Structure 1
Amino acid sequence: MAQRSGGTQEREDPKQRRDRELIELLNELRVALPGVQVLFAFLLTMPLTQRFGDLTNTQRVLYFATLLSTAIATAFLMTPTAYHRLRFREADKEHLLRVGNRAAVTGLALTIVSVGGAVFLIADLLYHSALASLFAGAVTAVYVSLWFGIALLQRVRDE
């Protein structure tokens, strides 16, 4: 029997469970992916701005690292969809769920790196490195706490 979020238990055979979990995974990715894509688009346009020429070498390295982490995050977040499409009707949803979950978690972790890098870069341009580090660190801590900390803390409590 499966435990539903409303506290009720419903009979669910393994196939139904896999189908439900796949739908949940793909729906979650539909929520996460647009934010990463918007950040990626923003980063792609940065070199076209007038101020990009004013970046220091360190800022350029940070920009490129942030761009790469965003591109890779996008790839990881799209992996379950591509896998599902390429292996359509090949009866391996359990493997898809394992691969998809790992890819989604990795994509979310890289998104945190990307957001932190973007916040640092913008704050460094507006203020200075010390404040930029403070802002980026605070934003990163919020993301890590909300996206990973709460779930991992609950896992520890459940054990």
Structure 2
Amino acid sequence: MQEQVEKESLKEQMGRIIEEARMLLPGIQALFGFQTIAVFNEPFKKLPMLVQDCHVAALALVVVAIALVMLPAAYHRQAEPFHVSRRATSLSSRCICYALAPLAAAISLDVFVVLQMVTGDTTLAAIGGGSAFVLLISVWFGYPQLMRYKLARSS
């Protein structure tokens, strides 16, 4: 059975990209806020330096994700303010997609930090953080790429 497919105009594509960025941004900002507050809590200061370093790395990765998610709006408003181009939609789409990689890494590092703090077991924390990373990368990149491949083969 052939699935019905419809092309979007550049304007519709850009609108959808901006909507996707609007959906991602509040979650990323909330994560950034919690990450920032964590360092001021007394138990955080008692964590091993490796765990604190992982938290700082996660914070830096969230900043990268925020920059990538915000880039489409900044680019559109400054570089091409009065029209929508294929270049703008392509750049914007890639930026939002690329933002998911550092976000997955940041979330995984934070899972490691939380599990280390709760259990005190570095091995368990590493397994939990690694598992979170594999899950997020599989769902955010693996599955979409698999479907892209299958759809390309079927057409």
Q: TM-score, normalised by structure 2?
A: 0.88
Q: Return the offset for 1:147.
A: 1.0
d(CA) in 2 for partners of 1:36, 1:114:
10
Match of 2:4 in 1: 7
d(CA) in 1 for partners of 2:137, 2:5:
31
Q: Deviations over 1:100-123 (max 9, x none)?
A: 112111111111011101101110
Match of 2:145 in 1: 152
Partner amino acid, structure 1, of 2:141:
F
CA gap 1:84/1:130 in 2 versus in 1, 3 angstroms: same
Q: Deviations over 1:26-77 (max 9, x none)?
A: 1111111111111100001011111121021111211110010011111111
Q: Return the offset for 1:93.
A: 2.1
* Identical positions, percent: 24
Matches within 5 A, 1:119-134: 119-127=111-119, 128-134=121-127
d(CA) in 2 for partners of 1:47, 1:40:
12
**4+ residue stretches of structure 1 with deviation over 3 A?**
none
Partner amino acid, structure 2, of 1:131:
L
Match of 1:103 in 2: 95
Q: Does the alignment pair 1:73 with 2:70?
A: no
State the superposition RMSD in angstroms.
1.6
CA gap 1:47/1:78 in 2 versus in 1, 3 angstroms: same
Any unmatched runs of 5+ in structure 1? 1-5
Q: Does the alignment pair 1:40 with 2:32?
A: yes
Q: TM-score, normalised by structure 1?
A: 0.86
Q: Does the alignment pair 1:83 with 2:80?
A: no
d(CA) in 1 for partners of 2:76, 2:84:
9
Partner amino acid, structure 2, of 1:139:
A
Q: Does the alignment pair 1:118 with 2:115?
A: no
d(CA) in 2 for partners of 1:60, 1:135:
17
